[in-house]
Amino acid sequence: MRQQMPKQDPQIRRSNFEEVAQGFTAELAQAEAKRCLNCKKPLCVEGCPVEVEIPRFITLLVTGKTDEALAKIKEKNSLPAICGRVCPQENQCEKNCVLGRKGEPVAIGSLERYCADWGRAHQAAEPVCTPTAAMRGKVAVVGSGPAGLTAAADLALMGYEVTLFESLHATGGVLRYGIPEFRLPKAIVDYEVGNLEKLGVTIQTNVLIGKTLTIDELFAIGYQAVFIGTGAGLPYFLGISGENLNGVYSANEFLTRVNLMKAYRFPEFDTPIRIGQRVAVVGAGNVAMDSARTALRLGAKEVSIVYRRSREEMPARLEEIENAEEEGVIFRLLTNPVKLLGDENGNVTTMVCQKMALGEPDASGRRKPVPIPGSEEALSVDTVVVAIGQGPNPILLQGTTGLTLNKRGYIEVDPETLMTSIPGVFAGGDIVTGAATVIAAMGAGKRAARAIDRYLSEQK
């Protein structure tokens, strides 16, 4: 039987920021690892965007060689403690697991996390890249989110001199500002980024490429290739009246205040956040779940998810939806906000919603929500978080001449080489595909590192 990872009790965890899922014990990890059939043709590996040799690391774990198991994972994945926590394994490796056909798949993500956490606790030796007199070349990586971190690590391991540029004061991108502490402790992001520095990667925070330095200047100061992994960082709003009232946050702002700026520890940290008694989070993706669960922990009395489609269409991971439900988040489904009303101080007080019914499938293949006439209702709120996705941030794109974008405003790349319209400039992750997952971005970073290596090898 598949082992369950111990979790904090919902009634306790809903008021703290400690990690919810507490990881396998050695015994649980052993029991779970032994379930792996060690298939000759491992389908799980095909489901992994970064190609981790899953049965091999699990076999090493079974034989008690946790250090070697971790090393095996790290051959392909430089951020295992992060992936073990935030990857949607149910749609990837675990979805392909043969055991899942008749029963439950091996808990691959939990085992990956176990190995990574073991390494962190035991300070497992990291692969060290020793810079030789002749490094293979200089590469600039723009953006320190999952795509950039992976590209930087892989390039460093190949022997390149890598500088990672980040516009914020801290690295990690969405891992830092977006995903909350209770799902991904920031100490883990620090640790994984620290490993990158041990590989010889130079990190420069507070540099906004496109403003502080341009891509042209990066080439001028000696970089031979550039990887753009800036993500999709421009929050979408609903476009309804009252959206600029006080108390209406984009999920980006709400989560950035709490995660990056640590507003949940105000006044020890200087950045404030205001949380009301009644919070409505619009949207039903992972970011919406993170926002709703954060609002609970900040002390809101009632937190609801407001979503215009039904439960089946919710894009969040099932695990996150369940976590939110257990903690007491209310789901107002087939409900669409149409306007926000405020008081004389400009603070939001009411969300007027319309009930929806599902009609014919739309372009996304999901059944299109259609308003039910006369179904408007008023929801009393004092905080609204808009978590309906994000678009491409235009700063680097506007500040770079010759970069071809697609119709949606994302960077166009050659699907084979991941090279953009500018020779030597590569891109991957959300800035190419639109908002997706951490692991998809990491996969893109990995492929880009290989493509950059190929490109620079051919240049010589």
Partner 1 sequence: MKILDKKQLAPEIVKFLVEAPLIAKKAQPGHFIILRHKENGERIPLTIADFDREKGTITLVCQGIGKSTREINQMEKGDSFLDLLGPLGKAYPVQKLGTVVCVAGGLGVAPLYPKAKALHEAGNRIIGLVGAQRKEMLIMTEEMAAVCDELQFSTDDGSYGHHGLITEPLRAVLAREQVDEVVAVGPVPMMAAAVQVATAFKVPVVVSLNALMIDGTGMCGGCRVTVGGVTKFCCVDGPTFDGAAVDFHEILMRQRYYRDQETEALHRCKLEEAGK
Interface residues with partner 1 (CB under 8 A) are 167-169, 177, 205-208, 211-213, 233-235, 237, 243-244, 246-247, 249-250, 252-253, 256-257, 260-262, 265-272, 274, 345-347, 393-395
**What is the C-alpha to C-alpha distance for residues 339 and 351, in angstroms, rounded to an integer?**
6
Any alpha helices (H) in 22-79, and if so which ranges? 26-33, 43-46, 54-62, 66-74
Q: Which helix (H) or strand (E) holds 125?
A: none
**What is the C-alpha to C-alpha distance for residues 423 and 435, in angstroms, rounded to an integer?**
25
Instruction: Choose between 54 and 193: whose C-beta lies nearer to partner 1.
Output: 193
User: Closest approach of Cβ 262 to partner 1, in Å?
Assistant: 7
Task: Note the residue count of the chain.
Answer: 460
User: Closest approach of Cβ 261 to partner 1, in Å?
Assistant: 7
Work out the end-to-end distance of the chain between its first and last CA atoms, rounded to an integer number of angstroms: 54
Residue pair 15/297 in contact by the 8 Å Cβ criterion: yes
User: Closest approach of Cβ 394 to partner 1, in Å?
Assistant: 7
Instruction: Choose between 47 and 143: whose C-beta lies nearer to partner 1.
Output: 143
Instruction: Choose between 98 and 395: whose C-beta lies nearer to partner 1.
Output: 395
Instruction: Choose between 328 and 391: whose C-beta lies nearer to partner 1.
Output: 391
User: Closest approach of Cβ 419 to partner 1, in Å?
Assistant: 25
Instruction: Choose between 150 and 167: whose C-beta lies nearer to partner 1.
Output: 167
User: Closest approach of Cβ 345 to partner 1, in Å?
Assistant: 6
**What is the C-alpha to C-alpha distance for residues 190 and 202, in angstroms, rounded to an integer?**
15
Instruction: Choose between 22 and 244: whose C-beta lies nearer to partner 1.
Output: 244
User: Closest approach of Cβ 153 to partner 1, in Å?
Assistant: 24
List the structure tokens of 176: 């830092």
User: Closest approach of Cβ 306 to partner 1, in Å?
Assistant: 18
Instruction: Choose between 64 and 272: whose C-beta lies nearer to partner 1.
Output: 272
**What is the C-alpha to C-alpha distance for residues 442 and 77, in angstroms, rounded to an integer?**
9
Residue for token pair 């149910």 = 90
User: Closest approach of Cβ 440 to partner 1, in Å?
Assistant: 20
Any alpha helices (H) in 145-213, and if so which ranges? 146-157, 174-177, 186-198
- Beta partners for 282? 306, 386
Instruction: Choose between 103 and 272: whose C-beta lies nearer to partner 1.
Output: 272
Q: Quick one: how far is CA 146 from the chain centroid?
A: 7
Residue pair 184/86 in contact by the 8 Å Cβ criterion: yes
Report angle CA 450, 453, 457 to the nearest 5 degrees. 145
